[in-house]
Structure 1
Amino acid sequence: MTTPPNRSALIEAARAASAKAYAPYSGFHVGAALGFADGRVVTGANVENASYGLSLCAETVAVAAAMSAGARGGLVAVAVIGGAAGAGGEAAPGPEPVTPCGRCRQVLAELAGLGGTDPVVWCVSGEDVLETRLSLLLPHAFGPGNL
């Protein structure tokens, strides 16, 4: 039996992912790590575009990578870290935790809904980690039942 990634491991995976961000316009690097019940960890980093509306958040990149690899449920945890690029290009978080934006909350909810999970979400700041649940970040999420 496999064990889902723990908080420290998932946060470290998100931190490492943030070093791969493409953020030439904002200089704000974000990394996300998705932890699955089977032990898999899938990461993503934000990808900016000169046409700002086409930019992709780290969480959306991670979900796309997970779905492309066949993940259809089992999402149990998410870690998000963001900040100005520090040493090695990794995000150097500020005093406030970075939480997923509204779009990313919805994208995460779609993946979580496929497995009927309510993942814990760890949002990292320079001082602490905000721990919450996806359902608290996105109450009354839109899903297949709303179609």
Structure 2
Amino acid sequence: MTTSDLKQQATATMMNAYSPYSNFKVGAAIQTAAGNIYSGCNVENISYGLSICAERNAIMQAVAAEGPAMKLAAVVVTNYNQNGESGACSPCGACRQFMIEFATPDTTVTYPGEHGDIETTADKLLPDSFSF
């Protein structure tokens, strides 16, 4: 599956986001090393700390389906604000650390930048990540 295909899946899933507090919808689609595709959207809660980001939602679905040895091949993130426009927004720190847990050195991460999509690796997105 191509980055464009993953972006379409992320965008479709993003439309199901539950974001009544921020009015900021986010979608993520991931491809695992096994070739499977999973997607997720952000789900907010009135107690903001209980909200879940799209990236973590998608990764959790992959782990639930493939088990704890699941590895990420690619992550694609999309978003819309209250005006229905996409804006520059990289994955948050919690999502970056979550991705690193299941990433390989080749895992790509694509997200909206100021001048179009940015594609990088999970390692470059979170250098010196937390580990034991």
> Normalized against structure 2, the TM-score is what?
0.90
Task: Provide the residue aligned with 2:81 in structure 1.
Answer: 84
Q: Larger Cα Rg: Structure 1 or Structure 2?
A: 1
Equivalences for residues 1-147 of structure 1 within 5 A: 5-71=1-67, 72-84=69-81, 92-94=85-87, 96=88, 98-112=89-103, 116-125=104-113, 128-143=116-131, 146=132
Unaligned runs of 5+ in 1: none
| Alignment deviations for residues 55-99 of structure 1 (CA, whole Å, 9 cap, x no partner) | 10001111111111124233111000112256xxxx6302x2x21
**CA contact 1:93–1:125 (8 Å) conserved in 2:** no
CA distance in 2, matches of 1:37, 1:43: 15
Counterpart secondary structure, 1:32: strand
TM-fit CA distance, 1:127: 5.2
> Normalized against structure 1, the TM-score is what?
0.81
- The percentage of aligned residue pairs carrying the same residue is 40
